[in-house]
């Protein structure tokens, strides 16, 4: 079975349907108390919605749609589920096309369209559940949302069981426990920095090894913290599944940490968060970690952290913490003990059997977004740091990338509610977790794309909030992609040029110093 990462997309066309009819609603049907608008390539037989596109016919759009009242979930999140099977689904004409189980709506406050959705395999696959969770900052829709089911820019057949369709409140997918736990911290032996002062720094580049010049530059900027990402095939589907190959790669990264990163960190006065940015088994078509559903990968994840702890225990003068799992993404129920919280707990307990001192860094669900802290439980262990990633509003920080519109928007914009208070509101679930449990918080990633108007003001205001709350932080990212680089500037990614001095760089340096 072929697999690929398919973002929310999809449409279908039956044989003999002219291209100009693609995507047009030509019929109406009722099922389950809902009115469905069907384009020519769709049919409903009993509980089954079938969408087929003959090989070689790629219409503009072709789908089944129904309206959804989203008002019950304003200020909260929601989730959607359906059972589906596929036959001979071809590679789509664009990576963001293909299978579609997606909900769209227009944000009442920003006017931007939102498109959360689920992925599915290519090729043929048996009945399986697909789902997506809208955990983020849903403030309300301008009118009803629209649910889309089908295929787009591909060929094949997809069948949905409409009797299984559910849209409703978010259910905690990780255990809810340790609600009265208060976090405890102590400084590892040899720590050369004051544990009560926030550490500030950057995330390492992902595509190359770091060198002396990198560390000297960071020291001159005033950085005291480096989140060192061990990463490959971050966006791949089904990668990192060969565990022998994964171990060879990981051993090479650990050799570099031991032989280069830690010595340079000591020399230049930085501490290092060791970030396992990709996990054994990689991710599936919906970007969900495969180790949540395969004990072979789950056990290997825990064993990897045993190996890392044996190798690096006693390095409290240079290591800030063990960053267990970058941006967990879990939407489907896992087997007992294999969900994202329990796997981090298992790894943390394995580390503590070997290394009782080095801090352990835990991340929340939904790609470590602040809203994921609504359902995060603390670990009943000492020296556990809790990490959050801050990008938002996405229309601003990600304009023109990762499927976001290139429509220019600016920061601040009071007409959209984009002020420092907006940042505090988005970060509130994390702040509440901090106060409730006495937790130490680390902002592992935050950024705004280089060409966003007012990116410097966004950085200043975000850093000011982190400092107000006493959070450690690392900017994403140092000498990596030009769109995030503070040593480049330009109107878009095709016009980026090196820059020794620009407003974003000044904002970051002011924060570091």
Identify the band that residue 364 occupies on the pLDDT scale cut at 50, 70 and 90: very high
Identify the band that residue 15 occupies on the pLDDT scale cut at 50, 70 and 90: very low
* CA–CA gap between residue 35 and residue 30 (Å, rounded): 5
Fold of 200-512: TIM Barrel (3.20.20)
Give ranges for CATH 2.60.120.260 in the chain: 19-169
3-state class of 373 per DSSP?
helix
3-state class of 226 per DSSP?
strand
H/E segment holding residue 337: none
Identify the band that residue 19 occupies on the pLDDT scale cut at 50, 70 and 90: very low
pLDDT digits (tens, 9 = 90+) for 32-63: 999 999 998 899 999 999 999 888 766 567 89
pTM (2 decimals)? Answer: 0.82
pLDDT of residue 4: 29
Beta bridge partners of 388: 443
Identify the band that residue 18 occupies on the pLDDT scale cut at 50, 70 and 90: very low
Q: Which segment of 65-79, 356-370, 445-459, 483-497 scores lowest on mean pLDDT?
A: 65-79
What percent of the chain shows pLDDT beyond 90? Answer: 69
* CA–CA gap between residue 201 and residue 474 (Å, rounded): 4
What percent of the chain shows pLDDT beyond 70? Answer: 92
Identify the band that residue 235 occupies on the pLDDT scale cut at 50, 70 and 90: confident
Q: Which segment of 12-16, 399-403, 411-415 scores lowest on mean pLDDT?
A: 12-16
Whether residue 122 is predicted with pLDDT greater than 70 in this model: the reply is: yes
H/E segment holding residue 341: helix 340-354
pLDDT of residue 285: 76
pLDDT of residue 132: 86
Whether residue 433 is predicted with pLDDT greater than 50 in this model: the reply is: yes
Q: Walk across the sheet containing 156-169 and list its strands.
A: 42-45, 48-53, 156-169, 78-89, 123-134
Identify the band that residue 110 occupies on the pLDDT scale cut at 50, 70 and 90: low
Block residue for tokens 């900027």 = 221
pLDDT digits (tens, 9 = 90+) for 92-109: 888 778 999 999 988 776
pLDDT of residue 170: 78
- Which residues have a Cβ under 8 Å from the Cβ of 151 and sit 6 or more positions away? 10, 11, 12, 51, 53, 62, 63, 89, 98, 99, 100, 158
H/E segment holding residue 114: strand 113-114
- Which residues have a Cβ under 8 Å from the Cβ of 27 and sit 6 or more positions away? 37, 38
Whether residue 3 is predicted with pLDDT greater than 60 in this model: the reply is: no
- Which residues have a Cβ under 8 Å from the Cβ of 309 and sit 6 or more positions away? 322, 350, 351, 354, 355, 358
Identify the band that residue 332 occupies on the pLDDT scale cut at 50, 70 and 90: confident
pLDDT of residue 138: 67
Range 249-261 average pLDDT: 97
Q: Which segment of 95-104, 293-302, 454-463 scores lowest on mean pLDDT?
A: 95-104
pLDDT digits (tens, 9 = 90+) for 468-490: 999 999 999 999 999 999 999 99
Q: What is the dihedral of CA 19, 24, 27, 28, to 10 degrees?
A: 150
Range 391-420 average pLDDT: 87
Identify the band that residue 404 occupies on the pLDDT scale cut at 50, 70 and 90: confident
Give ranges for CATH 3.20.20.80 in the chain: 200-512
Find out whether 113 and 148 touch, Cβ atoms under 8 Å: no
Whether residue 124 is predicted with pLDDT greater than 50 in this model: the reply is: yes
Query: What is the CATH superfamily name and number for domain 19-169?
Result: Galactose-binding domain-like (2.60.120.260)
Per the structure block, which two tokens stand in for 185?
Answer: 């911290």
Higher pLDDT, 471 or 237: 471
Find out whether 286 and 119 touch, Cβ atoms under 8 Å: yes
Higher pLDDT, 139 or 167: 167
Higher pLDDT, 293 or 331: 293
pLDDT of residue 13: 27
pLDDT of residue 31: 94
* Nearest alpha-carbon partner for 174 in 12, 387, 332: 332
pLDDT of residue 319: 97
């Amino acid at each position: 079975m072929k697999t690929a990462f398919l973002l929310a997309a999809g449409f279908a066309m039956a044989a003999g349907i002219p291209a100009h009819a693609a995507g047009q609603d030509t019929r109406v049907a009722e099922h389950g108390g809902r009115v469905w608008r069907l384009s020519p390539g769709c049919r409903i037989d009993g509980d089954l919605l079938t969408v087929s596109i003959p090989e070689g016919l790629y219409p503009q759009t072709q789908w089944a749609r129904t309206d959804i009242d989203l008002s019950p979930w304003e200020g909260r999140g929601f989730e959607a589920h359906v059972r589906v099977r596929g036959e001979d689904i071809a590679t789509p004409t664009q990576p963001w096309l293909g299978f579609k189980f997606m909900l769209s709506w227009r944000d009442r406050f920003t006017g931007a369209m939102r498109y959360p959705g689920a992925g599915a395999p290519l090729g043929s696959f048996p009945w399986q559940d697909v789902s997506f969770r809208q955990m983020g900052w849903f403030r309300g829709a301008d009118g009803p949302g629209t649910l889309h089911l089908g295929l787009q820019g591909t060929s094949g057949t997809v069948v949905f069981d409409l009797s299984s369709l559910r849209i409703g409140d978010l259910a905690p997918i990780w255990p809810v426990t340790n609600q009265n736990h208060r976090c405890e911290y102590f400084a590892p032996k040899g720590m050369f920095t004051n544990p009560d002062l926030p550490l500030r720094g950057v995330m390492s580049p992902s595509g190359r090894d770091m060198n002396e010049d990198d560390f000297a530059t960071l020291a001159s900027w005033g950085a005291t913290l480096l989140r060192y990402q061990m990463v490959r095939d971050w966006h791949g589907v089904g990668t990192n599944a060969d565990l022998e190959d994964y171990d060879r790669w990981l051993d090479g990264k650990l050799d570099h940490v031991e032989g280069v990163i830690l010595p340079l960190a000591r020399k230049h006065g930085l501490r290092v968060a060791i970030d396992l940015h990709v996990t054994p088994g990689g991710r599936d078509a919906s970007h969900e970690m495969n180790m949540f559903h395969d004990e072979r990968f789950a056990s290997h994840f825990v064993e990897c952290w045993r190996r890392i702890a044996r190798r690096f225990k006693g390095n409290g003068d240079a290591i800030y913490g063990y960053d267990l799992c970058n941006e967990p993404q879990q939407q489907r129920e896992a087997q007992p003990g294999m969900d994202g919280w329990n796997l981090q707990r298992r790894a943390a307990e394995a580390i503590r059997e070997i290394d009782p001192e080095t801090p352990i860094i835990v991340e929340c669900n939904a790609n470590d977004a602040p809203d994921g802290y609504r359902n995060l439980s603390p670990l009943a262990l000492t020296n556990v740091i809790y990490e959050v990633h801050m990008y938002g509003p996405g229309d601003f920080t990600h304009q023109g990338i990762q499927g976001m519109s290139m429509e220019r928007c600016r920061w601040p914009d009071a007409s959209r509610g984009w002020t420092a208070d907006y940042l505090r509101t988005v970060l509130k679930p994390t702040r509440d977790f901090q106060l409730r449990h006495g937790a130490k918080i680390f902002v592992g990633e935050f950024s705004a794309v280089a060409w966003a108007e007012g990116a410097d003001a966004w950085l200043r205001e975000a850093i000011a909030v982190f400092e107000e709350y006493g959070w450690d932080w690392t900017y994403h990212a140092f000498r990596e992609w030009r769109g995030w680089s503070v040593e480049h500037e330009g109107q878009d990614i095709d016009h980026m040029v090196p820059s020794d001095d620009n407003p974003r760089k000044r904002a970051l340096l002011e924060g570091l110093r």
